[in-house]
Amino acid sequence: RVNKPLVSGQLEIEKLRRATFILLPFAVIANLLGPLGLKGGAVYLLGVGCGIAYNFYFKFRITSPLVYFIALAALPASIFYAVDRDPPLWVLATSSLLGVAFHFANVLKDLSADRDSKIGGLPQRVGKRASLVIIAILLIIVITILLNSPVSSTFTSEFI
């Protein structure tokens, strides 16, 4: 995609790599010593690492949804760990599945440009129709999990 800074030449890859490695220690320290605490910050960094891994490796691979699956579970998990609680399984499941659905949905608008740029993640490989089916299936699973979660029973008992 020619409008991206690296592709258009506005940003050189070597400068991006250098900036990443210079700033990375500061990001790690800020997250580990920040408001999420050591455990929450470490899990949050896992999500950040997934984003970096996606950009440099996974967006070209059939395993591209894996980093979204992990990263989107890491976000709510880091908040639970920050208050010294374990995240419920249903929270991890729904956030992971939503992450994968977001990945497929986000790619839809750029499918042809991605293919031209040699980006070969799973959504690019399966195409628009299959991506829409995958999104629908994932959302149905998420809704089913949420409707059967403790939050759903608390919500419905208070309002019905």
Which pLDDT tens digits describe the chain residue by residue (160 residues)? 566 776 677 878 888 889 888 998 998 999 899 999 999 999 999 999 999 899 889 999 999 999 999 999 999 999 999 999 999 999 999 999 999 999 999 999 988 888 888 888 999 999 999 999 999 999 999 999 999 998 866 655 555 5
| pTM of the predicted model over 0.75 | yes
Q: Assess if residue 33 is contained within a domain.
A: no
Task: Note whether residue 29 is domain-resident.
Answer: no
Domain assignment of residue 37, yes or no: no
Range of the domain at 59: 47-159
How long is the chain? Answer: 160
User: Would you say residue 129 lies in a domain?
Assistant: yes
Grouping H, G, I as helix, E, B as strand and the rest as coil, residue 98 is: helix
- pLDDT score, position 84: 95
Task: Please report whether residue 5 resides in a domain.
Answer: no
CA dist 25 → 28, 31, 59, 113 (Å): 5, 10, 24, 34
Q: What is the pLDDT at residue 115?
A: 82
| Cα 95 from Cα 71, distance rounded (Å) | 9
What's the number of domains the chain is made of?
A: 1
